[in-house]
Amino acid sequence: MSNYSQVIPIANKILKNYFLCDQCLGRLFSKQLHLSSNKLLGKKLKNIPDSKNKCYVCKNLFYNLDYFSKLMLSSSSNYVFKTYGVGVIIKPSIVDRDDFLRSKYKLKGIDSIKTDITKELIKLFSKKTHKEVDSIDPEITFTVNLKDESCELRSKSLTVSGRYVKSKRGYPQKQKSCDNCSGKGCRICNFHGISKFESVEGVISKFLFKKFGGTIAKFTWIGGEDKFSLVLGTGRPFFVKVKNPSKRKSVLLDEKFDFVSVHHLKLIHESPKKPLNFNSTVEIQISTVSQIDSKNLKILKTLTTTPIIIYEKSGKCYEKKIFDIKYRKKSKNLFTMIINVEGGFPIKRFVLGDGVLPNVSDLLNTPCSTHEFDFLDIRVE
């Protein structure tokens, strides 16, 4: 361990050749002396008032840090947050001179100038705002660029889970991306990636943007439905990640909009990593070309005893299971079927017989089609 009198000769030797500001000089020795203020140590070691000379290492950057802490302040003025982190970008020539000095005088185990600038910015910013620094998982991350005097801010995304009920026909689940940027986010769409809000996705996104700010809302749906399908009961579960939110807390109550309502909204840690298994109860209106009678329909019950195989155009195939079937004849060429089936089941193709075996058309021996099918319930396992 060194003491103060031991470092004085080295400090003097350095100062003879290179003028250093208090902060840079102090940084070279503060760790070995176990001192926390580089500035005070530098001042003491120099024992002369700072002259008009420029610091060899930082070119007096340390005198200018207040300007950058103000940049941090103004760039975060619209954000509500508790914790933050800081990264800095400085000119490579500063780093080079810092490295050069350290190796020339064999100074080991000291903070780099980048680390010291970061520490100083944190001191200034925390003093001004009383926000807490968190280097592992901050809510807001500043990248302070001292090279071009700018400050970028990134806010950690947040995730909401919930369920939606769709009570009117004619609205798609997903929103078409902004024509200009194909969903990446641009000025035209206000960086949302969507410019219209006329789907389930659009309405929920708009609601969340109002609550949390943010740019892009990225949805994970537990299954999907046709534009003309209703989603009833407790609704369809979804997860949505809101990127770059400006607020992180909000009271989330059930909300009702024109054709969709949202329930069970909750802020959660993250969306599930793996696809969730789920079952749906679907009511399907089926019309037939030939006339049907209730006796014929009985054969539909066999669908619960065999796996349904779905053949994709790619050559792949997969199985789904129907757990339960109910049916009711409505007229000569129309009946209703209610099935409880594994999630991700292609309803229309199953009725038509398009690459699905067994299927309704084959079983009833007449071409069948569906114009409407509604989700009565969706259960996640």
Footprint on this chain of Zn ion (rule: CB under 5 A): 21, 24, 55, 57-58, 178, 180-181, 186, 188-189
The minimum distance between CB 64 and Zn ion, in angstroms, equals 11
Q: What whole-number distance in Å separates Cα of residue 86 and Cα of residue 69? A: 11
Is 226 considered catalytic here? yes
Integer Cα distance of 190 and 76 in angstroms: 18
Cis omega before residue 358 (within 30°)? yes
CA dihedral 354, 276, 235, 244 (to 10 degrees): -110
Q: Is the Cβ of residue 178 or residue 347 nearer to Zn ion in the bound state?
A: 178
Residue 95 or 186 with smaller CB distance to Zn ion: 186
Using alpha carbons, select from 242, 281, 230 the residue that is nearest to residue 162.
242
Identified catalytic residue from 50, 111, 134, 226: 226
Q: In this complex, which beta carbon is closest to Zn ion, that of residue 86 or of residue 189?
A: 189
Q: In the bound complex, what is the minimum distance in angstroms from residue 61's beta carbon to Zn ion?
A: 7
Backbone angles phi, psi at 6, to 5 degrees: -75, -30
Which CB, 72 or 113, lies closer to Zn ion? 113
Nearest to 41 by CA among 28, 55, 51: 28
* Cβ proximity of 213 and 78 under 8 Å: yes
Shortest Å, Cβ 135 to Zn ion: 24
Between strands 140-145 and 83-89, the pairing is parallel
Contact present, 343 and 351 (Cβ < 8 Å) = no
Closest approach, Cβ 188 to Zn ion, in A, equals: 5
Shortest reach from residue 41's CB to Zn ion, in Å: 13
Which CB, 163 or 192, lies closer to Zn ion?
A: 192
Which of the residues are catalytic? 226
